[in-house]
Amino acid sequence: MPTFTVTSVIDGDTFEVTPQWQWNGQTGTRVRPTGYYAPELHTYGGQVAKDKLARLILGQQIELRTAYRIDRGRLVCDVFFRNRNLAEYFDR
C-alpha cells in the first residue's frame, strides 16, 4: 500500500490517516496497527499510550502494509514507520 500521513491519534492503538485507505472494496481513514495492544483511553495508562503514539507518528508518513480485516471501521494492518514495524516501538 502507498504512504499515508497520520492526521490524528484517537488512542494508543488507533489513528487516522490521509488519503483514505482502500481494501477489499471498502475505504476509510481509521487504522488499527497489529502487533501490540494499548490500554483503553479511559483506563490506567491509556492517556500515556495515546501521548506516546502521537509524539511518534502524528503528522508523520507511515506505510500500511499487509491488511487483515476491518474492525469497527478500522483497517487492521501491519504499520511501518521509518522502515520499522510500529509494534517494535511498544511493549506487547
pLDDT, tens digit, for every residue of 32-80? 999 998 999 999 999 999 999 999 999 999 999 999 999 999 999 999 9
Mean pLDDT of 13-18: 97
Q: Report yes or no: 65 and 5 within 8 Å, Cβ to Cβ.
A: no
Looking at the predicted structure, is the pLDDT value of residue 20 above 80? yes
Torsion of CA 29, 30, 35, 38, to 10 degrees: 150
Confidence band, pLDDT 50/70/90 cuts, at residue 2? confident
pTM to 2 decimal places: 0.93
CA–CA separation, 74 and 65 (whole Å): 14
